[in-house]
Amino acid sequence: MSTTVRAPVGGMAAPLSAVPDPVFSAGMVGPGLAIDPPREPVVSVAPISGKIMKLHPHAFVIVGDDGRGVLVHLGIDTVQLKGEGFRVLATEGLRIGAGEPVVAWNPAAVEASGRSPVCPVVALDAPSEAVVPRAHGRIEAGDALFEWV
């Protein structure tokens, strides 16, 4: 069984090791990829179809019908912004399809606040060998980011 995890935002795909946060870059949360988004207002979309288990302005977790959870974190240390500059477009507990809007935000404003707008996309509780990258370089929201095998 394999799950295609799609890009929640467009930008430049990068390895998690490039994320300026030791917890994400060391893969402590789980394996995955990161996206460096454009510095303009964007809408983050669901990377998989499933149920929104956790929803904060700066991060969300969607769990698919197969029980696999994907974390999307919109920037680094963005919890410190207390939701400012983020607009939640979905509801926790809601079933959502891959590519449907979840949170609107502005990576340029995050960067202007002294934080990184890089977005880790993580396969929660997966072994590192379970993630096969599918994206390199410039990608669009909804493109295949990695395969969870």
Return mean pLDDT, the chain: 96
Name the pTM for this structure: 0.97
Q: Mean pLDDT throughout 12-40?
A: 96
Query: What residue ranges do the domains of the chain occupy?
Result: 3-148
Q: Which residues are catalytic?
A: 73
Q: Cα dihedral angle (50, 60, 147, 137), rounded to 10 degrees?
A: 140
DSSP 3-state assignment of 111? helix
1 pLDDT above the threshold of 90: no
CATH 2.70.70.10 applies to domain 3-148: yes
